[in-house]
Amino acid sequence: MTDRSFLPFAQPEIGDDEIAEVVDTLRSGWVTTGPKAKRFEADFAAFLGEPGLHCVAVNSATAGLHLALEALGIGPGDEVITTTHTFTATAEVVRYLGADVKLVDIDPATLNIDPAAVEAAIGPRTKAVIPVHFAGLAADMPRLLDIAARHGLKVVEDAAHALPTTCGGQLVGALASDATVFSFYANKTITTGEGGMLVTRDAALAARARVMRLHGISRDAFDRFTAKTPGWAYEIVAPGFKYNLTDIAAALGIHQLKKAHAFQQRRAAIAARYDEAFATLPLLVPPAPPPGELHAWHLYTVRLAVDAGIARDDFIERLFAAGIGCSVHYIPLHLHPYWRDRYRLDPAMFPASQRAYERLVSLPIYTRMGDADVGRVIAAVRGALGVA
């Protein structure tokens, strides 16, 4: 990228290996869910490195969250706790099932769900908790899992930002939750364009998710159409969904996964450079992971200090004027009309999320950025703040 170009907020890094695998898939004659999707699932389980994990490839993290909650029996009359500081997909899947959402506030330091707020929100209808690993930093899973165990709650991790994040020395996806769901959307730490992965130790949950991801059919298309004996017969055992991942997408994932740790190292290097450059500016930089842990650095979020001398929206406008793409993660759910009106929510109920949102900006952080691109972002931030 040249200095005259606009630096987008995010771009995927697709290499020759991914392209060759996609071409091989196209030439194979099998482009929907088939051998490449199975290989991607097996590779993902091996990547997480824990025995007994079942991986179910799906067409989005939203689909994975929906399938996990459905398999856990969440339904009308139930309540699921999650954070207000997330994308709507985390919560909307609960409503798909006719259950209610209970939103809680975040830890103001990490922007992850506040375990104390979770425990305070538990009521007689509470059946599950969905923690979100915001920006790629692990939520406080030891506390959350302890709370869930004491109250008999299921835990489904929204790990859309969290590959490869660690917690207690284990990769997210290999913890003791009931299910973990990853995203491979175009701007995530690895991508299949659109896609996701549901991970669980529960064989019954995985089996239910496999059936429900493809119309509730008792045998998936690959098994039926590649059988050595007549394989046309199938049964509909439930009113399922259309959530399968294609082999074309899985072909990308097979090679993106091999690069996940290298991608994380590059993102971490960019984050470290930002940390150093912004140390003396009126900005609050994101928290570092605990010693020995991995932060996936899906996002690099800064918060403007009260004395920054500029409003958040004006700061963003100056960055765009300087040719730097940026974003805000997130407009909290309590500010959106659907969630606000359905549950009669008010910003005063979520002070930490509200304060963070009003000062929060996400800066570019992705592996295709060169050192000069990182320098451009730093210079633009300094310029926007009026610092020479």
Taking the C-alpha atoms of residue 67 and residue 210, their distance in angstroms, rounded to an integer, is: 9
* Cis upstream peptide for 164 (omega within 30°): yes
Sign of CA dihedral 330, 185, 98, 128: negative
Q: Tell how strand 100-104 and strand 360-363 pair up.
A: unpaired
Q: Is 38 assigned a catalytic role? A: no
**Which conformational region is residue 156 in: left (phi greater than 0), alpha (psi within -120 to 50 degrees), or beta?**
beta
Mode of pairing for the β-strands spanning 54-58 and 154-158: unpaired
From the CB of residue 273, how many other CB atoms can be counted at a distance below 10 Å? 15
**Catalytic position from the list 36, 102, 188, 259:** 188
Residue 132 one-letter amino acid: V
The Cα 134–Cα 148 span in angstroms is 20
Give the ranges where the chain is alpha helix by DSSP (H).
16-28, 35-48, 61-71, 89-96, 115-121, 141-151, 203-212, 221-225, 247-258, 260-278, 312-321, 337-343, 351-359, 371-384
Supply the DSSP string of 131-193, one letter for each residue. Answer: -B-GGGPPP-HHHHHHHHHHHT-EEEEE-TT-TT-EETTEETTSSSSSEEEEE-BTTSSS--B
Q: Report the C-alpha gap between 289 and 299 in whole angstroms.
A: 13
Query: What is the distance between the alpha carbons of residues 94 and 81, in angstroms, rounded to a whole number?
Result: 10
End-to-end CA distance of the chain: 24
The amino acid sitting at 10 is A
Neighbouring residues of 160: CB distance < 8 A, sequence distance ≥ 6: 61, 87, 89, 132, 133, 181, 182, 183, 185, 188, 196, 298
Residues marked active site are found at 188
